[in-house]
Structure 1
């Protein structure tokens, strides 16, 4: 790097660079001092739209008239049996009394897509006359904070469906805490 000397000793620019700068700005005139201070416009506070949507959805879900009292703890996981039905149904469901006839895998889906897929799957099961199905929601290892986002959502959606008689976490061989086994109402056939 060249050493600066003379008037340009404190300037980081060489004499040629300074001369070039002066030529570039020779037609520029100074702004008059107005004595006013320019205040930056106050920015509006950000609106947390996702938080508002989440709160609205939570409120809507809380007003659905769910039968939360019908939930029972089973080894730390939530199970459900429709009010008025015997609790033995849960025991039979946990032990694999009914054969799992079909399954739905929700891995990789967001909340809304999973809700739609679950509703469509249950309608299809009803049309086909299925009684026992498995819904795999995952254990949440790939989700944000490594928490199972769909686990409680799926259980909530199932409780809203009249065709669902009971559900419980799957046995370890059937997916364990990453899946739920669902018992559906028997569909009466027209010729019965």
Structure 2
């Protein structure tokens, strides 16, 4: 009987100890919450003192789309491509033996029949795009023509016009740019043939160029 009373007393003390620990823990948690709230209030007051009173803006109800940053421009690659074009299109290339100078100037790659130049001269292919090289320096014209031919071919164009002028404004009235354009076009793998344009399309100041299929 005495042992039972001792055990009951021991259990009661354990319960009281556990309750005391629980109350202490809850009190500590409440105190921590109070201190955190007090800290937030102090920070809010400091902010108001620093910037003055603020008001929440009314909700406008519009969805803000995610803005996509512009695509980076590959400047170095463009410079590299321009350098490649300058090196690939030589002004020293001997083009005279490749040109046909019957009644009008023309060029066609080996293996192409005479009818290709004839049809090109007759306008069987519609001119889809043109570039005017008037007023450009030699390096500018070389790069512009190389880019024009490459992009036209990539877009699937077959017939384009290149306006180089008649050279009337050049020293000695010699068509300097025209001779360079002939050399450059012959060196472009995208070019199958070209002929001097008809009078209505520029005559001796322009070329009609046939490109390979893309």
**TM over 0.5: same fold?**
yes
Superposition CA RMSD, Å: 1.8
> Is structure 2 residue 119 aligned with structure 1 residue 92?
yes
Aligned-partner Cα distance in 2 for 1:164–1:173:
23
Aligned residues: 126
Partner residue of 2:154? Answer: 127
Question: How far apart are residue 175 of structure 1 and its match?
Answer: 0.2
TM-score by length of 1: 0.61
Which of the two has greater helix per residue? Answer: 2
Aligned with 2:169: secondary structure?
coil
Aligned 8 A contact 2:167 2:174 in 1:
yes
Partner residue of 1:43? Answer: none
- Structure 2: gaps of 5 or more residues: 1-86
How big is each residue's C-alpha offset from its partner over 1:61-106, in whole Å with a ceiling of 9 and x where there is no partner? Answer: 44x5x6643311033x531000111111000011111000000000
- Structure 1: gaps of 5 or more residues: 1-56, 188-192
How big is each residue's C-alpha offset from its partner over 1:46-67, in whole Å with a ceiling of 9 and x where there is no partner? Answer: xxxxxxxxxxx9xx644x5x66
Aligned with 2:135: secondary structure?
coil
Match of 2:200 among 173, 178, 192: 173
Aligned-partner Cα distance in 1 for 2:91–2:132:
23
* Max Rg structure: 2
How big is each residue's C-alpha offset from its partner over 1:7-33, in whole Å with a ceiling of 9 and x where there is no partner? Answer: xxxxxxxxxxxxxxxxxxxxxxxxxxx
TM-score by length of 2: 0.55
Partner residue of 2:211? Answer: 184
Match of 1:73 among 91, 97, 101: 101
Aligned-partner Cα distance in 1 for 2:137–2:95:
25
Following superposition of structure 1 onto structure 2, how do residues 21-170 of structure 1 map, counting pairs within 5 Å?
61-62=91-92, 64=93, 68-75=96-103, 77-170=104-197
The runs of 4+ residues in structure 1 deviating greater than 6 Å are none
